[in-house]
Amino acid sequence: MGDYQSIYNRSLTNPDEFWAEAAEDIHWYKRWDRVLDDSNPPFYQWFTGGRLNTCYNAVDVHVENGAGDRLALIYDSPVTDSVRKISYQELRDLVAQFAGALANQGVGKGDRVIVYMPMVPEAAIAMLACARIGAIHSVVFGGFAANELATRIDDAKPKVIVSASCGIEPGRVVEYKPLLDEAIELATYKPAHCIVLARPQATATMVDGRDIDWSEAVAGAEPADCVPVEATDPLYILYTSGTTGEPKGVVRDHGGHAVALKWSMKNIYDVDAGQVYWAASDVGWVVGHSYIVYAPLLQGCTTIMFEGKPVGTPDPGAFWRVIAEHGVEVMFTAPTAFRAIKKEDPAGEYIKKYDLSKFRILFLAGERCDPDTLHWAEDMLKVPVIDHWWQTETGWAIAANCMGIDFAPVKPGSPTRAVPGYDVQVLDEEGNPVAANDMGAISIKLPLPPGTLPTLWNNDARYQESYLSRFPGYYLTGDAGYKDNDDYLWIMSRIDDVINVAGHRLSTGAMEEVLASHPDVAECAVIGAADPLKGQLPVGMVVLKAGVDRNDKDILPELVHLIRDQIGPVAAFKQATVVQRLPKTRSGKVLRGTMRKIADGERYKAPATIDDPVILEEITEALKILGYPKSG
Ligand code: COA
Ligand code: AMP
């Protein structure tokens, strides 16, 4: 325990000393020459000159320190009715073997490997195997369609793609192999090989000469050793939604990442080696990268990979069963999961069935945590419920109640204060800090702390343009909000076209691009409308081409199918309506913000520059028919 304010101040006034101290917790083959390398602003690097291996720090080191028998990973899969427990020693052997299999396919340092897999241990094994040999992994979430996978293949240019025959969603088997084959067909760049894990629920049709069965690839492989890499070498690329259909390839380095994540386990989550930590997310998201795979293993914890849902696998007691059965002390998930449980089990009857005595803290992130959900979770679980705020780009929390430092009073709706390392400021249009309680663009003064993105994959220019150009000297988070008198942050909305559906970040711009490709659509807009379960849901407004006479009922299935096919089921796009015109300013800018306010039942003022205010009445009517605004 310590004093948050003095630790926070020291992290900003003396970052070199602060992070060098944290870096002592990591094994280095060669120590760094510089802690913060600020020789090329606005690009900053951490621990330049240092050499390490992330897989060594996450796996081997614990075996060498005598903890080989400790459980590293528990795979709990209600959808296949199975549990598998893997010790650190077993994990090291599995990872080394698979690293050897990758090497046999010509994968070496700096080569990219796409991992398109469900929530099975082999996904984590593939990621760690890449880290072991210095290859760069890029995990693609299983709920994305072939087209999205193809975009990532073309950008990352992987030598090998690791996949599985299928994923399992409640009630249906999602065959991955046809999606993978289609993606490779669509992509301009072709990977040399695919390694495919055969799951009993579906058989993958293999392409001769290109595809290799996981077990065969592993059977013929020599275990590979950890390869020292530069602290600044990329560990992974993770694509995330931007304002257009082109996803951004967030790069994560080795050194800063290992240091920051290990630091976060004790200081933010208050978790020690040997304790069981569970992030109920998916390896396809940043939460899965940081807090299912890397951070808990770096800390020597037991991590849980859960292949199931908060409800329906088989009931709203799934989380409590896992916590009780595996002795989980700290859990991390998205508020939407708790809203789903609360909806099915409002009185918490299922909680009473399990022994949750070991459970200490619940962390929530991925979307704003509404006070109702926070209070419900507190009342039911009788443990601190901590909202914390971060994003794919940062890789770890920007604001949190740092439970390992000192517990600050919870203000429902706020993720508490900036985490040490992050100089968070709220700026006005001109880039000047605003007064307490005033809204503005939430920005982080450069340099960002270790573990955050150094750039976008092969695209320094887009990195600068997207994040650094709006306010020179600051990183633009894309979130708007304010700081109160106690320095608590309040994250209120996005300043761009990114929406948040069930804790998943999606681009309305990308959906508009897809809808616009329908032959009958002249123009369209997609807004994120407030939904009591998923936070937001996408709603499409389409204007049909002159002479096309079709109604909502008629065209909706085609639009839904198009988005599912081009972006994926994860977009949860199920609602659209035909309108005569879109509301616009006289200069032609579509008034998406005004439409969103109408959908959410918020007061709005039509801009003076609107070309025809009558359209807003038509939009209000159309949204009403779709059921908006929804009541909580
Ligand atoms: N592979 C294939 N399809 C997937 C998928 C995957 N890995 N993950 C989700 N999908 C599909 C779902 O089956 C669903 O398809 P459907 O339209 O045919 O029903 C669709 O994508 C939307 O999924 P989702 O938004 O997750 O909705 P849901 O109704 O299945 O579940 C919740 C709702 C709230 C239970 C669920 O979103 C959840 O558990 N969220 C937790 C939040 C989370 O993990 N966030 C990550 C950041 S912390
Ligand atoms: P992702 O990159 O998918 O993790 O999404 C990051 C975005 O989700 C942030 O920029 C926010 O808009 C939102 N977000 C994540 N966590 C929180 C939180 N605790 N409170 C409010 N918004 C959040």
Percent of the chain exceeding pLDDT 70 equals 100
For each of the domains in the chain, give its residue range(s) and CATH number, in order of start. 506-625 (3.30.300.30)
pLDDT, tens digit (0-9, with 9 covering 90-100), for 359-373: 999 999 999 999 999
Report, in angstroms and rounded to the nearest whole number, the Rg of the chain calculated over CA atoms.
24
Tokens of 611: 């070309």
Mean pLDDT, residues 405-428 taken together: 97
- Residue whose CA is at the smallest distance from ligand 1 atom 13: 169
Residue nearest to atom 10 of ligand 2 (CA): 391
The whole-angstrom separation of Cα 529 and Cα 539 is: 7
- What does the pLDDT look like over 460-481, one tens digit per residue? 999 999 999 999 999 999 999 9
**Burial (CB count within 10 angstroms: exposed 0-12, middle 13-18, buried 19+), residue 374:** buried
Q: Is 366 in the pocket of ligand 1 (CB under 6 A)?
A: yes
- Residue 127 is encoded by which pair of tokens? 């990621």
3-state secondary structure of 86: strand
Residues 173/201, Cβ–Cβ less than 8 Å: yes
In this prediction, residue 613 carries a pLDDT of 84
Q: What is the pTM for the complete model shown?
A: 0.96
Please, which pLDDT band fits residue 419 given cuts at 50, 70 and 90? Answer: very high
Q: Of 497, 507, 481, 480, whose CA–CA distance to 593 is shortest?
A: 497
For a mutational test of ligand 2's pocket, the pick from 240, 338, 368, i.e. the residue with the most ligand atoms closer than 8 A to its C-beta, is 368
Closest ligand 2 atom to Cα of 387: 19
User: For residues 469 and 42, what is the distance between their CA atoms, to the nearest angstrom?
Assistant: 10
CA 216 to chain centre: 32
Task: Fill in the amino acid letter for 566.
Answer: Q
Taking each helix axis from N to C end, the angle separating 614-625 and 592-599, rounded to the nearest 10 degrees, works out to: 40
C-alpha 316 to ligand 2 mean position (Å): 25
- How many Å lie between the centroid of ligand 2 and the Cα of residue 491? 9
Peptide bond into 447 cis (omega under 30): yes
Q: For all residues of the chain together, what is the average pLDDT?
A: 96
pLDDT of amino acid 242: 76
Return the pLDDT at 2: 67
Mean pLDDT of 335-358: 97
| pLDDT tens, residue by residue, 147-197 | 999 999 999 999 999 999 999 999 999 999 999 999 999 999 999 999 999
Amino acid letter, 152? R
**pLDDT tens-place string over residues 11-51:** 999 999 999 999 999 999 999 999 999 999 999 999 999 99
Exposure b/e, 392-421, CB count within 10 A at least 16 = b: bbbbbbbbbbbbbbebbebbebbbbbbbbb
Q: What's the pLDDT band for 606 if we cut at 50, 70, 90?
A: confident
Whether 540 contacts 525, CB under 8 Å? yes
117 Cβ inside 6 Å of ligand 1? no
pLDDT at 187: 98
- Calculate how far, in angstroms, residue 570's C-alpha sits from the geometric centre of ligand 1: 6
Instruction: State the Cα–Cα distance between residues 291 and 280, nearest whole angstrom.
Output: 9
Using the structure block, give the residue that is written with the tokens 């090291």: 92
Report d(CA 113, CA 580) in Å as an integer: 47
Q: Is 530 in the pocket of ligand 1 (CB under 6 A)?
A: no
Q: Whose CA is closest to 53, among 224, 225, 229?
A: 229
pLDDT over 80 (residue 244) = no
Q: What is the pLDDT of residue 1?
A: 54
Query: How far apart are the C-alpha atoms of 552 and 542, rounded to whole Å?
Result: 9
Percent share of the chain, pLDDT over 90: 94
Secondary structure (3-state) at 471: coil
pLDDT at 291: 98
- Residue type at 297? L
Structure confidence at residue 344 (pLDDT): 97
Q: pLDDT for 147-156, tens place per residue?
A: 999 999 999 9
Which listed ligand is nearest to 444 at the C-alpha? 2
CA 583 to each of CA 197, 525, 546: distance values in angstroms, whole numbers, following the listed order: 50, 10, 18
* Rounded-to-integer distance, Cα 54 and Cα 29, Å: 11
Do the beta carbons of residue 245 and residue 379 sit within 8 Å?
no
Given a cut of 90, whether residue 610 has pLDDT beyond it is no
pLDDT per residue as tens digits for the range 276-332:
999 999 999 999 999 999 999 999 999 999 999 999 999 999 999 999 999 999 999
Q: Which of 169, 201, 285, 534 to mutate to test the pocket of ligand 1 (most atoms within 8 A of CB)?
A: 169
CA 573, 576, 581, 582 torsion: positive or negative?
A: negative
